[in-house]
Structure 1
Amino acid sequence: MGTITFLLVLSFLVFFHELGHFLAARFFGVKVHVFSIGFGKRIFSKEWKGTTWQFALIPLGGYVKMKGQDDTKPGLQEEGNDSYNNKTPWQRIVILFAGPFANFLLAAILYFVIALGGANSLSPTIGKVQENSPAMRAGIKEGDIIVRINNIEIKTWDQIGKTIISSQGALKFFIERDGQIIAKTINPHISDAQNIFRETIKKRMIGISPAPKLVTIYHDPISAISYAYDKTIESSKMIFQGVQKLIQGIVPTSEVGGVITIGKVISDASESSIIALLAITALISVNLGVLNLLPIPALDGGHIMFNLYEIIAKRKPSDQVFMYLTIAGWVILASLMLLGIYNDINRLLG
């Protein structure tokens, strides 16, 4: 069942990505010969409105084949106003960007649905209080629930950290303890901490950690829009930073996961709850959007760079340069896929 869920989720994400390219291409009048979910041998197809819609044997991606575009034939020229190569560079950039944008849009829609259905977050319940910390000196105890900081209502644990970091000076904490509300004034101190990439950073802290307790927050449609926007931006930034830290060597290559890891994460989420499955689907959709925007030839981001070069230089890159860079892009992508599979197998073997 987990494998089926994985294939359905992946196919859905690929379809949405390619649909973005397809709709933008058709908007500019570009003919689309093929809309494919998967690569390799065709296992099912149907002709509709001049496009062959198909499922292929290898379900690890997809593509739209437009008139006048072929990475294996960079010098391809197909005449007519319905040809991709006859569109202006800006129009081609819009067509290329539409795929990743569709992934960001899908993630926002999924986060919106999650917000309406109930988003799970860590409860603002205190688990541990560090020795000699500002919280301990103020009399904070394990099991206390933080309900307000100054005039900011607190519903989740994340809000506590964000409020402390974005503030200055002493803060007034309102704590629920044994059914009563108690006010405590705490002056956070600057201390060493680790971010999600295990880097040591300086951070305003009061010396508390969360209890392993979840709270479900239900949003109205207006606040759900804000939640969806914030989660999509937050996820995008996290993935962009992750790629940057990987290139810098801060994140080890052993952290790179492949299709096996993705499949396991999706399978585990599907067994947990529909909300968990929607959340991981949204995160993977953002991941696809971000990765496809990387300036690697053979990806949308690489093709966008080619078109930006054409705008700046007033000419297209030579066919030879285009082909060499595209092959280099394929080598990079293949290497990353093999690295992910290698890491997956290592994890399975312990």
Structure 2
Amino acid sequence: MSFIISLLVLSALIFFHELGHYFAARAMGVYVEVFSIGFGKKIASFHKWGTEWKIALIPLGGYVRMKGQDDSDPSKKSYDNDSYNVKTPIQKIFILLAGPLANFALAFLLYFIIALGGPSILSPVIGNVVKDSPAFIAGLKSNDTIKSINSVEIFTWSDMAKHIETSTGSLDIEILRNNFIEHKLLTPKVTETTNMFNEIIQKKMIGIGSAGVTHKLELTPSETISYAIEQTVFASTMIFTGLKKLIVGEVPAKELGGVISIVKITSDAAAYGWMSVLAFAALISVNLGVLNLLPIPALDGGHIMFNLYEFIFRREASEAIVIKLTIAGWAILFSLMGLGIYNDINRLMG
């Protein structure tokens, strides 16, 4: 069941990405020959609006094949009026950007739906207290609820963590314990920990862990939109940062995940309900948008670079160079996919 859910999620995200390219191409007067979800042998297809719409055997991507544009053979070009090749570099860049932008728009929509349903978020309820930590010395205990820090009201665990991390000096922490309000005075301590990229960092902490208690956010219409925007921007920033760290070697290559990880995480998300599946789908949608903007010739970002070259120098890039770089781009992509699957298998085998 989890595999089917993962397949449906991936296919839907790919569909929206390619739909962005499709509508942008049609808007620019470019004839779209094929709209495919998946690669390889055709499983099913139909013809509508002059385009062949098909589902292929390997569901790890998709493509829109426009007249005069074929990644499998960059030398195939057409200079008819409805061809991709006769459009200006700006028009072609618009078509190329439309796919990733569709993924960002879809992520926003998914986060908006999550916001409407009342997203669950960690409450500032203390679980474990580290022995000899500032919290332990101040007398904080499990099941204490943090109500405010230095008179600033605290609603979520994230609010509390950010306030502690950016604080200066001592903190007056107001807690709710057994229906009574108490105040505890303590000073955060810079402690070694790991971040979301598994890097060791120094961070101000007080030595407490979450109890895992959650509550639903009640959002106004304007807060719902703000939530969707903030989550989309956060996801984009996180993925861009992760990619940068992976490229420069700050994050080891063994952290890269593949399709098996996607299936597993989708399965885990499904166990927590459809809201979790939507949140994961939004994150993967942003991931697709970001990855397709990378300047790798086989991706949208690579084609954008070729068109920027044409726009700046008023001539197309050499066909021989385009073909060589495209082959190199596919080699990079398949290598990354292989590495991701290899890491996934290693994780499964422990």
Q: TM-score, normalised by structure 1?
A: 0.93
Contact 1:104/1:289, CA 8 A, preserved across alignment = yes
Question: 2: distance between equivalents of 1:151 and 1:310?
Answer: 58
Question: 2: distance between equivalents of 1:344 and 1:183?
Answer: 47
Question: 2: distance between equivalents of 1:134 and 1:271?
Answer: 37
Equivalent residue, structure 2, for 1:85: 85
Structure 1 segment 158-197 matched on structure 2, within 5 A: 158-197=158-197
- For residues 70-95 of structure 1, give each alpha carbon's deviation from its aligned partner in whole angstroms, at most 9, with x where no partner exists: 22443443223322111111221121
Contact 1:72/1:323, CA 8 A, preserved across alignment = no
Question: 2: distance between equivalents of 1:308 and 1:185?
Answer: 58
Equivalent residue, structure 1, for 2:249: 249
Question: 1: distance between equivalents of 2:150 and 2:291?
Answer: 40
Question: Where do 5+ consecutive residues of structure 1 fail to align?
Answer: none
Question: 2: distance between equivalents of 1:13 and 1:100?
Answer: 10
| Cα 1:157–1:132 shift into 2, 3 Å | same
Structure 1 segment 35-114 matched on structure 2, within 5 A: 35-114=35-114
Structure 1 segment 138-217 matched on structure 2, within 5 A: 138-217=138-217
SS in 2 for 1:6: helix
| Cα 1:69–1:213 shift into 2, 3 Å | same
Question: 1: distance between equivalents of 2:348 and 2:162?
Answer: 37
The two structures, once aligned, show a CA RMSD in angstroms of: 1.9
**Which residue identity lines up with residue 209 of structure 1 in the other structure?**
G
- For residues 113-138 of structure 1, give each alpha carbon's deviation from its aligned partner in whole angstroms, at most 9, with x where no partner exists: 11221212222111233344333343
SS in 2 for 1:190: strand
Length, aligned pairs only: 350
Equivalent residue, structure 1, for 2:314: 314
Equivalent residue, structure 1, for 2:341: 341
- For residues 307-343 of structure 1, give each alpha carbon's deviation from its aligned partner in whole angstroms, at most 9, with x where no partner exists: 1222223322101111111111100111111112222
Shift of 1:194: 2.1
SS in 2 for 1:143: coil
Question: Where do 5+ consecutive residues of structure 2 fail to align?
Answer: none
| Cα 1:169–1:26 shift into 2, 3 Å | farther
| Cα 1:167–1:85 shift into 2, 3 Å | farther
Structure 1 segment 122-137 matched on structure 2, within 5 A: 122-137=122-137
Question: 1: distance between equivalents of 2:348 and 2:133?
Answer: 41
Deviates more, 1:251-260 or 1:14-23: 251-260
Shift of 1:157: 0.9
Contact 1:232/1:286, CA 8 A, preserved across alignment = yes
SS in 1 for 2:39: strand
Contact 2:199/2:251, CA 8 A, preserved across alignment = no
Contact 2:43/2:56, CA 8 A, preserved across alignment = yes
Contact 1:35/1:51, CA 8 A, preserved across alignment = yes
Shift of 1:24: 1.3
Equivalent residue, structure 1, for 2:270: 270
- For residues 118-169 of structure 1, give each alpha carbon's deviation from its aligned partner in whole angstroms, at most 9, with x where no partner exists: 2122221112333443333433222211122345432221111122233434
Shift of 1:107: 1.1
Deviates more, 1:88-97 or 1:324-333: 88-97
Deviates more, 1:314-323 or 1:146-155: 146-155
**Which residue identity lines up with residue 18 of structure 1 in the other structure?**
E
Question: 1: distance between equivalents of 2:254 and 2:191?
Answer: 29
**Which residue identity lines up with residue 190 of structure 2 in the other structure?**
I
SS in 2 for 1:40: strand
| Cα 1:151–1:65 shift into 2, 3 Å | farther
Equivalent residue, structure 2, for 1:231: 231
Shift of 1:274: 0.8
Question: 2: distance between equivalents of 1:125 and 1:67?
Answer: 59
**Which residue identity lines up with residue 323 of structure 2 in the other structure?**
M
SS in 2 for 1:315: coil
Question: 2: distance between equivalents of 1:344 and 1:198?
Answer: 17
Shift of 1:11: 0.9
Question: 1: distance between equivalents of 2:18 and 2:153?
Answer: 42
SS in 2 for 1:124: coil
SS in 2 for 1:342: helix
Contact 2:75/2:323, CA 8 A, preserved across alignment = no
